[in-house]
Structure 1
């Protein structure tokens, strides 16, 4: 897919612009220039499917933090628990070359330490001096330390350590370490440090932080006051430091740091202050500009007493400065002073110079003027930077790319673009800047490559991007942790595998499985399919389909590798199938209309369950109903939506950021899903309760670490995730929340924010020998009886106004209601239509189809020819002018009335 930037130019202005593009090295080199007869210059972005991910090593790391690519393309990797690992480019092996004795675990229950071996970089002259710089937390001393070591015969010489710099860091608390190292021009070394402050609430207190700026200055609560660190000009925490290391291991201070050496109540090493957790940094090798990702606070909403909600930031420092924290966030949004003894607030902080009157402050009473963020975004959608999406937040800064038409492995289009990335959300973006560094735009970069929590990104001597993946799980050895290289294919591209489908994912023996895959090759190559059927069995086909009969009981992981005629290949996702047990069948039978529910009119239902080869245990049937948000016609997915539960909620969970913080059965930073399932098995309101917490965010239930808000997730999809989580408990559900046969009466007033009525029935069988229980859920959706104009997608002779209402523009026009049930429907009301200049007709399936009813000048159209076949039909609402109309006809909503 290509994005085209079109610039309208004319005359001399065009000539000057074209000259600047071709000859000014400060501008972005376009990948492709084309000029048409209308003097339109088009710049096409490179095809994203030409970026490919090459796995170098995977599944062998335990909490990798930062890496450095050596000149020979060997790669050093720091692990938080103290190991220094070396990936050998020639042998493709990973070896441990050192183990530092680091503080990496607290002695307090439910408090995670983030300290350890935090940062790593190599000397700009590494090829000749083999110097390695490590930033770590030594045991036995509450400091974070920067040291220089020497590599000797591919091992780190521990005796060569030169301690360059260390500073106090409060331990046995969480959080915010920073720790990233990077060299800039003139051999200047940059060191990021976190604010070493606790973002959580003080236990058993009335007035607490709630995810805003930690400004609690009460005695004994120093860790809850970031003014003692990030907001303190005389403290090295919450900063980016800049020094020049000498040959003997000492360092000097650059002249242009924030505070000249000798300035009272300041630290001369500070280049940038006002940082919460500048976790990954990079330095533009040409301009010397510093970039970093700032991991922001957790508040989901603005608060009149406290200040702004939380934002993550990507920042740019062209010179030394103060970037605000804990007085400001985002675009210099100010926090307010807050008294934690009585819950009253003071004035908002002044960006021209915030006052630091904390008793924990050892620095200046007024800090330097605050600089706004370069890019900033909250948990929810960002109005200023919509491309970043929504969800959890962990901003990271990568390198600035410099390319040329001949030398770079990447297209010249990316020359001068900053690469940023997200640990939690998993995306990578290319940021386009003006010649002076101002932000212009951002766009997806290597958009088709999935990443497992990218925690560091570096350029190798080959000009290629290397990415360190932490893996989706905190404080653990993750099977998806690894190092990848990003190649750009200028010739043949590997196939794109977009979908693997299994018609029936379970069955009794002998179980016949039919699998199909959707794969395309952009270069037109002939495709071969190698199917992995589990247990070491593989089969090859030349068509995208396979049939295989399993004769032994078991759970089998199914996947396929697709290979083109040039031997380039791609792999599908893995789907488990179950031989020896079959998913139960759950059916929901409704009497009456299958599209709409009506205020006060009973919905009669019956749930039928069959379990092939077993007797149905009615105690394992779970039935629930809810009213949820949804798009009335376009997104409600009306009628039956039956699927194996393992294929619905689990799939939605995998696509979200949930898997970054939670594992199915092992601990991460969040509780294991099976523990959540067990905790809420007996709670009939668990689905609504847990869905609300996912959308709004939560803290304090399973520990101090808050769960981020997900305001942009659809409630209906969140509930499917929750239902999958609840299905994980082996206990099953104690009893159905609703009977298998019954009636439900909708309220007289339908909530327009939650117009979809959802009836869900699930059944979990008892499993089979060697196989876990299987769950099937059937969902039946009905929409409220008012159809909003925004959900009508097909029309003719109307224009859609800014409020989404339709205004008629032609004498003969129509609106189409797609695929609805007309059972028990007696009339349709057009709101606010009332105009006797027009005849209105209801037509079945076609514009000139069967006439169901008509009206002349009244908004209510009675149906005279009832439809009783219980099928879904298209309904055309046709408008015909009675002569020359003098009045505007406007239609906003359509109400369906029942008999």
Structure 2
């Protein structure tokens, strides 16, 4: 980062680093952590493995001849990466006691109806309670009559053409499953098409270029994706039909990254993402270097050298927006994202008039990763839980609304800052990334922005009292389904799935409207439009109440409920009426799947 230098510190231009002894200690510890996280090494029998994974490959329909080699490949991947693998085709393994020993369960080309109702319930509780799900290829051809599974896998199989070569576009190159790949990947496989496009409810990691093969038909064609599932995580890839896939090092690394994400051994931002415009995804058009040093540009990746300088997007100033970017440090390096500054050729002026969101592996709490440099430290506990170590990619979201700046790291909120400095303003300004100087090396990918049309007033720096309930807590019953608005698994975690379920009067179905136009459950969680999205199909979940427009709702006289920030209605996906059908927002049309009654 560009330090706010005192006169004494300016002479060395390095900022207030730790002593050399502490720095060497931090570097040593970090090198050990990075090597353990990224290097394929043989398992050491004398040590306990980091976690266990269950591979499940039962088939009640078509059986793939790649299952045996796939199971062995996952065993080999585990042996090389400090996790152990059990495999089974016995559905009775799906009970609460047995599942509790695993960090993730891999559905390897399962087909048909493979779990009974009791086993389904145990698995749903496992995932919603924090377990991981990994679906491979025909996992999408499974459990068509279980709506929860459809949500978990993301989309069900529809059809496929003959096995052939196609180009895979790697849409997200920060996720541990895809960060090793270039922007495109040509390979041969059996390419699934799906009954629905999952993009509105998942983070798409890879999509197919349908112009490179015959028999697509989806247009926008996701093929690999991930998403949070209540307190758990879900990862799916449609790749993996052929036996040859499992000897392909790129595909094996994709599987490793998906398993590590699902098992919470690596982090990624898997929230659905729509409506963003690329500022950098290979082209530096519109960017200018200020100050010394530079960024090289190769394989849609910017790599810093020298400094202290800043590469800034000079084409346009931004007001309220969501800025996302992927970054990776090389060791104990230093960088930052600078926002809200006027046009300048001097990077120090940018820091004196804007704010920097710090990227630094080691420093004082208000000057390390996630901090608003010199102003407010990140929530260190939340930051540490979400942070991938140097050598691995991370994703920032910087949400700027008026003078409020929120920082999200790999999908977890780690800072919430309100500017009160009269000499600085977040309401209009430019965006830049820093090259701090030798030997600091940082890389950036996929810098994208979504401008916001509404602005939420900045909150008080300290939590304010909860708005006064304007109605008592009561269920909201869907007119078409007769089922109640429900939190899956009675989870109270941020991001927990909102669905419909048989009305039962429990606390996870009790909703209160407040004077702030919120719909609250559990007293402190609000119905929330994911990522402040405004597009049709944007998922809804619950989140800590924060007063933003994506948590404001209007109950209309016709029974519809309007998301004020998006001007769209609360809608049951696909007009579903079954238990577990999810909720999203959609253009208001007054249908039964958009109307609700108090009961």
Choose between structure 1 and 2 for higher RCO, CA contacts under 8 A separated by at least 6 residues.
2
Same fold judged by TM-score > 0.5? Answer: no
TM-score, normalising length from structure 2?
0.28
TM-score, normalising length from structure 1?
0.20
Larger Rg: 1
